[in-house]
Amino acid sequence: MRPATRLVLVLLAAGGVPAAAFAHAMKVVVAVTADAVRVTVSYDSDDDHGGPVTVKLLDGQKRVIGEAKPDKDGFCVFPRPAPGHYRVVAADEFGHRAERPFEVKGGDETTMSAPPEQSRSLMVAVGLGVIAVLTLAGYWWAGRKKG
């Protein structure tokens, strides 16, 4: 196999890896209420692609101050901690992992910390654009004159 052909194949394969890596991304939504931290864990697709999930509540120094297993709907609750900066880390046994930082303020306010929603069509368009650019670069590389 010619080196240029090999390069094109490697570039195309590398372009497809990110799409596969995020096909079933885990999402974490945190709601701080007057008396609790309510965590909801879900996956990017409608299917359940993970195993048992463990959710950890970490303080500002990244020490674990709480751990829970979500119910079948992906929901778990922690007691509301003192005011400060915290982080929820969710992970399953298949390598899915998500983190969500949040702040607990003084008082009885309710706050939400959720991942930004991303348009699937935009993500597909970007992926196809990357593949097209890599393909054109491969053709250019393969067609250039040597020496």
Number of domains observed in the structure of the chain: 1
Mean pLDDT of the chain: 81
Question: Per-residue pLDDT tens for 85-111?
Answer: 999 999 988 888 999 999 998 877 777
The secondary element (H helix, E strand) that includes residue 1 is none
* Cα distances (Å, whole numbers) of residue 116 to 29, 76, 81, 100: 10, 21, 25, 11
Task: State if pTM tops 0.95.
Answer: no
Residue 147 confidence (pLDDT): 56
Question: Per-residue pLDDT tens for 53-96?
Answer: 999 999 999 999 999 999 988 999 999 999 999 999 999 888 88
Which domain covers residue 39, as residue numbers? Answer: 3-143
Phi first, then psi: give them for residue 73, nearest 5 degrees. -95, 5
Which is more confidently placed, 146 or 36? Answer: 36
Q: Which residue type sits at 129?
A: G
CATH at residue 100 = 2.60.40.10
Long-range pairs for 120-129: beta carbons < 8 A, 24 or more residues apart: 127/15, 127/18, 127/19
User: Is 50 exceeded by the pLDDT of residue 19?
Assistant: no
Pairing verdict, β 64-68 and 97-104: unpaired
Q: Are 55 and 40 in contact (CB under 8 A)?
A: no
